[in-house]
Structure 1
Amino acid sequence: MLNKEDTVFVLVDVQGNLAGLVHDKQALFSNMQKLIKSLQILNVPIIWVEQTPSAIGETIVQISSLLTNLTPISKTTFSAAKNDEFMTALKKTDRKQVLVAGIESHVCVYQTAMDLHQQNFEVEIISDAVSSRTQSNKQIALLKMQSKGLTLSSTEMALFELIGDAESKEFKQIIKIIK
């Protein structure tokens, strides 16, 4: 089970023109927004990475506008786990459960998640908050990650797991976001 004191969220490469090309982008962006707003209420740390922003572009405004107190970590490696600045930020949180969302499912999300899993982090992919340019690449990535021992979840499932109690003050705030 997810525990908000043990969880960190990694947001991967929701950038530039690429973000506009992914499958079912409106649902993806909506789920990411719900996730980010809710995780902020739960005080779950967020680590935000961008793949070569000088070439791909910056994170889309629908997402970056929610992260004004954070600075993205720029990377050139497909796996964020191969980036020293990212790994330093992740280890600094002292969290072992890692929620991952972003694009593209079959490249940067997959490689980041697999590398973190190999480093003994408990990785959960938020399946309705990841995408690729094609639905088939997303599905193959999810199947492969699951077959390698990573856990799949959804935005609401992960949030309700982190909240844990309908009487909590966080639940009352978050339910307004996800409905």
Structure 2
Amino acid sequence: MLIDLHKATLLVIDVQDKLVPAMADPQGILARIRWLLQVATELGLPTVISEQYPKGLGATATALTDAAPQAIVVEKLQFSCVAAECLPESLLAHEQVVVCGMETHVCVLQTVLELLALGKEVFVVEDAVASRTPASREAGLRRMRDAGAQVVNREMVVFECLRGASHPRFRHISKTFLVGEQP
């Protein structure tokens, strides 16, 4: 199955001010998720950003909300966005959910497992998820893959949404985001 721009939503999980510094490669993960958000904005991919207990963990990193001003931001106390019942109907109406964020083995994992249980096609962006340790990240990715989630990278997301060079945004996106060094 391919990601279909007209059937998908991007879900960014808990990339918050007080949580980011605890991640392995904090600046790298911020840069990669920002890049993904910028491309999603260019493509018009609907985007939802979750925040786990923002009173304690702070708001979403400003670099991300600046990159996706159209995104819907939702708060939660449960680890899973599904269990928290914070996801807007507009996200749940889509067949496909592209997921990135942190922590891979906790909030991302629980959300992905519950989205799969709802019958969603779930794509976890491997180079845009993080945990405090590489071993926890890998364990989370392995479990999600074993449960039926598709593990992809950022370029897979972009090229599957574009489907071909005939897409009206292909030239701009390839020049702006795909040429040269990526984060």
TM-score by length of 2: 0.91
The equivalent of 1:177 in structure 2 is: 177
Q: Structure 1: which 4+ aligned runs deviate by more than 6 Å?
A: none
| CA distance in 1 between partners of 2:73 and 2:132 (Å) | 23
Q: C-alpha deviations, 1:2-43, integer Å up to 9, x for none?
A: 110001000100001211121122222222112111111211
| CA distance in 1 between partners of 2:146 and 2:72 (Å) | 33
State the Cα distance separating 1:85 from its structure 2 match. Answer: 3.2
| CA distance in 1 between partners of 2:144 and 2:6 (Å) | 25
State the Cα distance separating 1:103 from its structure 2 match. Answer: 0.4
| CA distance in 2 between partners of 1:35 and 1:111 (Å) | 22
How do 1:27-176 residues align onto structure 2 when only pairs under 5 Å count? 27-91=28-92, 94-175=93-174, 176=176
SS at structure 1 position matched to 2:169: helix
Letter in 2 for 1:147: D
| CA distance in 1 between partners of 2:161 and 2:72 (Å) | 25
Query: Which ranges in structure 1 are unaligned for 5 or more consecutive residues?
Result: none
CA RMSD of aligned residues (A): 1.3
| CA distance in 1 between partners of 2:4 and 2:89 (Å) | 22
Higher helix share: 1
Query: Which ranges in structure 2 are unaligned for 5 or more consecutive residues?
Result: none
Letter in 1 for 2:141: L
Contact 1:47–1:89 (8 Å) recurs in 2: no
TM-score by length of 1: 0.93
**Identity between Structure 1 and Structure 2 (%):** 27
SS at structure 1 position matched to 2:68: coil
Letter in 1 for 2:42: I
SS at structure 2 position matched to 1:173: helix
SS at structure 2 position matched to 1:72: strand
Contact 2:10–2:48 (8 Å) recurs in 1: yes
